[in-house]
Amino acid sequence: MSNRSRAQVSSARRIVVKVGSSSISGDNSDQIAPLIEALAEAHGRGVEVVLVSSGAVASGMDYLNLDERPGDLATQQAAASVGQNVLTARYQETLDRYGIAAGQVLLTEGDLLNEPHRSNTRRAVNRLLDLRILPIVNENDTVATYGLRFGDNDRLAAMLSVLIRADLLLLLSDVDALYTRPPHLPGAEPIDFIGFDQELEGMEFTANKGAGVVGTGGANTKVKAARLAASAGTAVLVTETRLAAEALAGGSCGTWFEPMPTAPGRALL
């Protein structure tokens, strides 16, 4: 795949797509169907697709009669336990229209860092893809320690992309691209392209406006995740969930992170 052109997205054979909680829960739950339809279209043309989905805690909140994200770990874990089941069912409902089965993969940080868990994770995901199953990956929030999470699912998605040698990592959120400063501030300009060795001095990447209501990520986490994946040879595109179909078709949208041309070993973990 070309190191520079979004137009080559359509030639990627293995893609990891990450979607954030706020993009698929609450008032935005209607985005689940079009997102899955976009993934199904790519799957239908032979692409191996992995979906890294946040949203388990957010999806479980209604069932626990919670108006806001719980602050204590035990209740977060309870919400995640309920919500993961709900979230996977919602995805499968749309996938059924295309005859695609989802395979749930719940990971802790150790599963991507430590042997033999790391090799086993790679083998399991690869086998699911060989069987034309669409893996739906999330942190195993119900049992994860160290504050529940990796830090964010952007990092999980980047680490997984490196592990399975994905051609493309697509990071989806509520914002159409990365900006030179938070997009709600005056003077913010969208960033079209970031070279693999480009310095980012003068750019202000912080949490997105409104982040933390149901989600945990922001622009800064996406930059760090994109840099991790790109340095290992995986191209990265950051854009809005509503533009997923356009992005997967190679459209001119979002912020493109050029992968390192000759990644040394493609395994930096």
> Which residue positions form the known binding site for substrate?
54, 141, 153
At residue 90's C-alpha, the angle toward residues 248 and 59, to 5°, is 105
Two structure tokens written together for 6: 């979004």
User: In 3D, which of 5, 76, 14 has the Cα closest to residue 51?
Assistant: 14
Residues in the chain: 269
84 close to 75: Cβ distance less than 8 angstroms: no
Question: Could you give the C-alpha distances from 265 to 5, 161, 165, 269, in angstroms and in order?
Answer: 23, 13, 10, 11
**How far is C-alpha 40 from the geometric centre of its chain's CA atoms?**
16
Known binding residues for ATP are: 18, 173-174
Pick out the residues of the known binding site. Answer: 18, 54, 141, 153, 173-174
DSSP states of 200-239 as a string? -TT----PPTTTTSS----HHHHHHHHHHHHHTT-EEEEE
| Other Cβ atoms closer than 10 A to 131 | 9
CB-CB contact of 79 with 60 (8 Å)? yes
